[in-house]
Structure 1
């Protein structure tokens, strides 16, 4: 029997209605041109579908939780029809399942609708990764090849400085290093350069047979086990967005390969992770800190050194983008820029949308 793949229906999000007389829990505001019905199609992403209904994806649970007819609103099937209705003045999203014409019909494996385009997420689930300082220092390293060559054809061997037993291994190159200010923790950004299988092993070293190579393999490259179970059980392309925890101080450290500026669909490294309460799907609003203006009328000037305590007029923060965590680690995370009105840099502030 072919396995039926369920699809997360984290399609819907909402902007909280801001009014002195209406609390944020009472009202959800939809787009002016929202559809009353929509049928999920192959090739859709949850992000694209949510944009049909709302402007922001992080408050989507508020649209589902008041609907008692749905046992699990996270799961839908391709072909299901989404219908928008109203309950006590609030919008409610319900699902009309795709009808099965016959119980004897052959089941078809359906590709899950990802939250974001898989091309943007998959490399950071299966290839690029972060590793903390302790694991980096103790990780296995490439010794090289018997003849010293760097480019190897399929089935040729590269040797590693340990006795190994795991079957499949990734060979990684260090491309950047990051650190946290609060506890001085360090993390190294790794880029996959090759995939290999265990061919031989003894107490001094192991030989790996190269299966796939993306660039040259060099002495001292990092060797880590590849575990498909981690991707299947902990990480997915169909995670759903949710507000990041409140009162969490997040800094953008740059791109995984060292770039200082990022734009839409690029991945940033941030200095908080699962130990700080972040999950795959945690979302942040990105804001530019306002300048401090000093001087008298007609003689105003910007305060160059913002660390000084000199009094002045603090200009307000400006919202310039959004990002979503696609792979959390213990103390760091990889997060995709989903919206950007200007280049995102290290000075940009990341805050939970629940704090706005």
Structure 2
């Protein structure tokens, strides 16, 4: 009887997806899945796993494939259970003696980790200014003909420029201060992107031409050298190596309630161990309540944080990071807690 109970319990654990290493499959995870054109890695991981951050633990990097980490539309993913350890891999053609194993790569891009359209602008433009260095950046002094602002095609003069003729710098406007959600330490400033300006004549009073503008430049806007960045897609979802806990301290467009695919700012960055592809959970900090039964009037009990959803870090800076909300089961707000599982 005891042996039968033990066997039944083991089967129950496997059915529920509770594995020895803590990996939990979804109860309805498919055995095979055909990758679609509009899929993201997050979508696929969420089909198989209760915690998408565990994708790197179950993904099998087949050495027979030219790009073992990349998944393309048309690929068939297979869930295999080897003992009590799940493994997800790309289905490949059977090995034929004396013949090479070949994978035909479709003439399309690999699927992105998260939706590219939601984050592209945050990867290709400066968005965060170090709070200690804002006052040292070059700045616009004025415009010809006594203008106080200018758009694309306008010239302007700037001071503090140390660049060669022909260089293109980004014009930015220091925005709200980013502060630590608990200590109030200044972590940096939001950098509002104005446009791009080309240096026409270097000197104490440098002359620029505003070659591209999303909004008008004004006196006092800052100039920032920008290193070209490519849209990074070759990374995977994973959990931080050490526990991380922080707060949401900012959001694009100044909205107050956050939802899926909203870009948010965290008060933790690379110095705290965050990197591209890290998955964190979001919690709403619930207020305390009074326990009138156990302690009578005035007895206060601290309620645990309430899980609200998940995010993926896509651009960490030194002290802050940009992340994309991937799952939201309720409205989120600036000040909510983020942490690793």
Structure-2 residue corresponding to 1:159: 157
Residue pair 2:118, 2:261 contacting (<8 A) in 1 also: yes
Question: After superposition, what is the alpha-carbon deviation per residue over 1:266-310, rounded to whole angstroms, capped at 9, x for unaligned?
Answer: 122211110111101222111223433225239988xxxxxxxx7
Give the whole-Å Cα distance in 1 for the aligned partners of 2:335 and 2:19.
29
Structure-2 residue corresponding to 1:273: 269
Pick which of 178-187 and 272-281 moved more.
178-187
Structure of higher CA gyration radius:
2
CA separation of 1:176 and 1:238: change in aligned 2, threshold 3 A: farther
The match for 2:55 among 53, 56, 60 is: 60
Give the whole-Å Cα distance in 2 for the aligned partners of 1:115 and 1:352.
19
Q: CA RMSD in A?
A: 3.4
Structure-1 residue corresponding to 2:101: none
Task: Give the TM-score of the pair, scaled to structure 2.
Answer: 0.79
Structural mapping, 1:280-291, within 5 Å: 280-291=276-287
The match for 1:316 among 304, 328, 332 is: 304
CA separation of 1:108 and 1:91: change in aligned 2, threshold 3 A: closer
Structure-1 residue corresponding to 2:9: none
> How far apart are residue 78 of structure 1 and its match?
4.8
Provide the aligned length of Structure 1 versus Structure 2: 315
Q: Secondary structure at the match of 2:250?
A: strand
Pick which of 54-63 and 179-188 moved more.
179-188
Pairing 1:120–2:122 present:
no
Give the whole-Å Cα distance in 2 for the aligned partners of 1:261 and 1:128.
25
Structural mapping, 1:120-159, within 5 Å: 120-127=118-125, 129-147=127-145, 148=147, 150-154=149-153, 156-159=154-157
Give the whole-Å Cα distance in 1 for the aligned partners of 2:155 and 2:148.
10
CA separation of 1:339 and 1:175: change in aligned 2, threshold 3 A: same
Pairing 1:331–2:319 present:
yes
Give the whole-Å Cα distance in 2 for the aligned partners of 1:72 and 1:193.
39
Give the whole-Å Cα distance in 1 for the aligned partners of 2:127 and 2:13.
39
Give the whole-Å Cα distance in 2 for the aligned partners of 1:192 and 1:284.
28
The match for 2:25 among 21, 27, 30 is: 30
Residue pair 1:169, 1:195 contacting (<8 A) in 2 also: yes
Q: What are the ranges of 5 or more consecutive residues in structure 2 without an aligned counterpart? A: 1-11, 95-104
Give the whole-Å Cα distance in 2 for the aligned partners of 1:69 and 1:134.
50
Residue pair 1:45, 1:116 contacting (<8 A) in 2 also: yes
Give the whole-Å Cα distance in 2 for the aligned partners of 1:23 and 1:66.
23
Give the whole-Å Cα distance in 2 for the aligned partners of 1:237 and 1:93.
20
CA separation of 1:277 and 1:26: change in aligned 2, threshold 3 A: closer
